[in-house]
Structure 1
Amino acid sequence: MASEDDTTKPDHQWIVTHTVHANRRNVFSFGEAEAYHVGTIISGSRSKLVRFDGDVQLIAAAPELKELLEEAVKLLDANSALRERIQATLQKVRG
């Protein structure tokens, strides 16, 4: 995560918190304008919580990853093949 004085800090970030249930996590979005509860993620398996935690970490990093991909598209504009691949991935991230 970027430092507080870093100009590349994402506009918002997602914070994941534990719940009283081992297989659930709450996701909150914190931005400059607002903060809100995105939702609760429930693991499909109580026996594979390590995998679940890894997946949740990736989800929590999504805003920063999205901004990183957008910046990469700008920097790699000269290389059209790589740029197209990154843009396709970015479209998947955007939904």
Structure 2
Amino acid sequence: MGKLLHEDPFSGSLFLFRSKRGNYLKMIYFDGSGVCLFAKKMERRKFVWPRTLDAKAPLSAGQLSLLLEGIDWRETVRPEPVAKPVLI
């Protein structure tokens, strides 16, 4: 997995995989003591998956929450990041 995605599976990142039909999702996460596997199957809807060019898509915690609920998170508007304070 790490070589394919060019990511360290022990970094604390979440790795999400969706089935071809889009109604089944697996999430793999290393919590420091072992690997956790989370799976969810949607009965009536599909998971809205981000379009990617390189098989990776960084998501915010809010976007992940919406994705797991089957809500189209792409329709939400991400607020502009707050600028760092400048020392005067």
TM-score by length of 2: 0.35
Normalising by structure 1, what TM-score?
Answer: 0.34
